[in-house]
């Protein structure tokens, strides 16, 4: 389950920074690589900081594994992905900020985007990855 951040409550308690650690199931619809799926839940380790204007910055890492067939040779393979995620949430979002309403930040869109950005364009076994790097 993806937690929510209650900005109003945290500000009222003068708790302007904190950490969140949780896991959630990755959305299989995000994977564009044939014959590949998530082989583990997505683990998130995030830190947040609330600023005076109620903008909230979130950064941290997401980690998950993919398994399936190598995009080149079709051998069974698995790859662990680690991605540095960051985002800014604002009650009045501008440009590349995420919005939130009624003092509650819902992290689902941010996490979906982070997983999407972390996904490789193809999944390669070790042998094909070594050939690719030459």
Percent of the chain predicted with pLDDT > 90: 93
**Is residue 131 very low, low, confident or very high in pLDDT (cuts 50, 70, 90)?**
confident
Give dist(CA 4, CA 7) in Å, integer. 9
Length of the chain: 134
The boundaries of the domain holding residue 62 are 4-133
pLDDT at 1: 78
Question: What are 7-23's pLDDT values in tens digits?
Answer: 999 999 999 999 999 99
Q: Which two structure tokens, joined as six digits, stand for 107?
A: 């992290």
Question: What is the total count of domains within the chain?
Answer: 1
Provide the b/e sequence for 107-117 (b: ≥16 CB within 10 Å).
beebbbebbee
pLDDT of 23-75, one tens digit each? 999 999 999 999 999 999 999 999 999 999 999 999 999 999 999 999 999 99
């Amino acid at each position: 389950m993806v937690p929510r951040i209650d900005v109003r409550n945290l500000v009222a308690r003068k708790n302007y920074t904190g950490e969140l650690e949780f896991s959630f199931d990755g959305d299989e619809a995000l994977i564009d690589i044939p014959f590949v799926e998530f082989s583990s839940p997505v683990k998130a380790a995030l830190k947040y900081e609330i600023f005076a204007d109620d903008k909230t910055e979130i950064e941290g890492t997401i980690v998950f594994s993919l398994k399936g067939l190598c995009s080149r040779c079709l051998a069974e393979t698995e790859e662990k992905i680690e991605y540095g995620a960051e985002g800014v949430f604002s009650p009045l979002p501008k440009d590349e900020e995420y919005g939130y309403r009624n003092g509650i930040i819902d992290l689902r869109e941010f996490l979906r985007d982070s997983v999407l950005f972390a996904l490789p364009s193809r999944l390669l076994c070790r042998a094909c990855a070594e050939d690719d790097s030459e």
